[in-house]
């Protein structure tokens, strides 16, 4: 995996704690764990060592009035500009890489289902075509399309066992999982470089490309963050996760600025389909135990209790999606898996930076949601891994806080069987 520089919308130092990664003092009357610093070196597994991000500084002033075009009415001053190619001289200054048959293979392989698995079949077909059409005029979109395909091909190769360990007996034409990951990282880095070079303003000619790029990039970064592995080092995982969450929040700037223009764009139906997640209210009781513990925690300020409560409310909405016949295809559950880091308050992210054990216990419930989506290639065993390192980090004193997620992910160990979606047990 190639190394890639990372520029965070927030100071990078905020995503780390003290030199040893130690956690703050005891906050809830139980022993507060210390970060595991025994593991060193580069992260193992499927995740890149660092997370790149587009440079969004040029959009800040432009988006100040929130209408996407700076004129206060949300209308495109040049309607004809919507169909102009958005390639600029700045982008041309970045030399193009060689296009080869692998790129053609990745292009043919692409479907928007790889990015949005909860999308229904009809919308997937229409918007896959729109994405590819947009990518023809927006090279940074096309490179991210290819990067996503390569990420999926890596997962497929890993499932087949094409990990490079049997290279001597494999066909010379077989691309291994590691090689696909390398291509995914290169193509994603190239996409970001092209985006940064163009420094585009949001208007009718660019909004579709900018929103598609930011949405695909955000989910790609989420997949990379979920795939992070470094032994049992929760501190390293949290640093990676916090970095991703803050990059993702910065990328959301693009969608926020483009929203008035999207209402009349070809993306309108897709964006409307994804609306309303933050307005949903939960009805289930799976998170009641930790909600009560959060409310009674002497180590949390009123603001901290509210922040954790809001994060748990979103998780409960996802759990409820498996308990109702009104939803189809686990739409809200999958949306929350990929968007939770984006929707929760920045204050919660800071609590993870501070190694708040209560916030980490909330994250354990997110791990349970990941486990409920383990049949998705984008998720896999991420939930089991995350909950395992959280349990090791927090220790036995925090067992009461982790009871429900442990009953979901490790039912044999907890002695409590989970009744939600038992069909997934066959995939364990």
Q: Which two tokens stand for residue 422?
A: 């038992």
Domain boundaries, the chain: 49-72+92-233+244-266, 277-427
Region of residue 231 (left: phi > 0; alpha: psi -120 to 50; beta: else): left
Q: CA geometry: angle at 291 spanning 285 and 296, to 5°?
A: 145
User: Between 290 and 163, where is the model more confident?
Assistant: 290
> Terminus-to-terminus CA distance in the chain, angstroms?
29
Centroid of chain to Cα 74: 29
Using CA atoms, how far apart are residues 243 and 222, in angstroms rounded to an integer?
A: 11
Among the listed residues 15, 87, 83, the one whose alpha carbon sits nearest the alpha carbon of residue 355: 15
pLDDT value, residue 415:
47
Among the listed residues 346, 333, 211, 220, the one whose alpha carbon sits nearest the alpha carbon of residue 282: 333
Using CA atoms, how far apart are residues 146 and 152, in angstroms rounded to an integer?
A: 10
Using CA atoms, how far apart are residues 387 and 409, in angstroms rounded to an integer?
A: 8
Contact 59, 245 (CB under 8 A): no
**Averaged pLDDT, 270-287:** 78
Q: In b/e form, how buried is each residue of 270-309, taking b as 16+ CB within 10 angstroms?
A: bbeeeeebeebebebebbeebbebbeebebbeeebbebbb
228 sits in which H/E element? strand 228-229
Place of tokens 């500084």: 57
**Averaged pLDDT, 147-165:** 84
pLDDT value, residue 330:
83
Using CA atoms, how far apart are residues 5 and 199, in angstroms rounded to an integer?
A: 18
Q: pLDDT-based confidence at 148, cuts 50/70/90?
A: very high
337 sits in which H/E element? helix 331-343
Contact 23, 357 (CB under 8 A): yes
Contact 250, 269 (CB under 8 A): no
**Averaged pLDDT, 403-408:** 96
Res 109 pLDDT > 60: yes
Q: pLDDT-based confidence at 175, cuts 50/70/90?
A: confident
Q: pLDDT-based confidence at 319, cuts 50/70/90?
A: very high
Most confident option among 95-99, 242-246, 265-269: 242-246
Polymer length in residues for the chain: 428
pLDDT tens digits, one per residue of 195-211: 989 888 888 888 999 99
Decide: residue 362, CB within 10 A, 0-12 exposed, 13-18 middle, 19+ buried: buried
pLDDT value, residue 160:
83
Res 45 pLDDT > 70: no
Q: How far is CA 107 from CA 110, 112, 115, 147, 209, in A?
A: 5, 12, 14, 10, 17
**Averaged pLDDT, 271-284:** 75
Q: Which two tokens stand for residue 144?
A: 């991210």
Using CA atoms, how far apart are residues 367 and 308, in angstroms rounded to an integer?
A: 15
């Amino acid at each position: 995996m190639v190394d890639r520089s990372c520029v965070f919308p927030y100071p990078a130092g905020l995503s780390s704690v003290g030199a040893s990664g130690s956690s703050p003092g005891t906050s809830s009357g139980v022993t507060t764990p210390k970060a595991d610093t025994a593991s060193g070196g580069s992260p193992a597994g499927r995740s890149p060592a660092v997370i790149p991000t587009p440079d969004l500084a040029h959009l800040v002033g432009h988006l100040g009035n929130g209408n996407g075009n700076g004129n206060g009415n949300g209308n495109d001053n040049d309607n004809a500009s919507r169909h102009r190619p958005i390639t600029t001289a700045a982008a041309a200054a970045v030399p193009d890489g060689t296009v080869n048959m692998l790129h053609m293979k990745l292009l043919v392989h692409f479907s928007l289902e790889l990015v949005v698995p909860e999308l229904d079949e009809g919308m997937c077909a229409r918007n896959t075509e729109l994405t590819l059409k947009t990518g023809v005029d927006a090279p940074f979109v096309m490179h991210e399309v290819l990067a996503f395909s390569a990420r999926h091909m890596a997962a497929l190769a890993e499932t087949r066992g094409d990990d490079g360990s049997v290279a001597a007996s494999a066909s010379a034409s077989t691309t291994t999982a590691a090689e696909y990951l390398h291509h995914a990282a290169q193509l994603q880095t190239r996409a970001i470089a092209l985006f940064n070079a163009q420094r585009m303003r949001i208007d009718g000619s660019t909004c579709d490309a900018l929103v598609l790029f930011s949405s695909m990039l955000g989910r790609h970064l989420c997949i990379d963050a979920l795939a992070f592995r470094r032994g049992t080092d929760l501190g390293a995982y949290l640093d990676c996760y916090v970095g991703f969450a803050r990059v993702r929040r910065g990328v959301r700037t693009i969608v926020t600025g483009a929203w008035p223009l999207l209402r009349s764009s070809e993306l309108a139906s897709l964006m409307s389909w994804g609306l309303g997640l933050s307005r949903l209210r939960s009805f289930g009781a799976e998170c009641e135990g930790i909600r009560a513990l959060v409310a009674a925690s002497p180590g949390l300020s009123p603001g901290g209790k509210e922040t954790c409560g809001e994060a748990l409310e979103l998780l409960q909405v996802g759990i409820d999606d498996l308990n109702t016949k009104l939803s189809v295809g686990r739409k809200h559950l999958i949306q929350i898996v990929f968007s939770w880091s984006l929707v929760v308050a920045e204050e919660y992210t800071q609590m993870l930076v501070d190694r708040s054990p209560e916030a980490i216990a909330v994250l354990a419930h997110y791990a349970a949601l990941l486990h409920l989506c383990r049949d998705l290639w984008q998720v896999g065993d991420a939930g089991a891994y995350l909950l395992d390192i959280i349990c090791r980090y927090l220790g036995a004193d925090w067992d009461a806080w982790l009871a429900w997620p442990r009953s979901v992910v490790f039912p044999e160990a907890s002695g409590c069987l989970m009744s939600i979606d038992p069909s997934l047990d066959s995939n364990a």
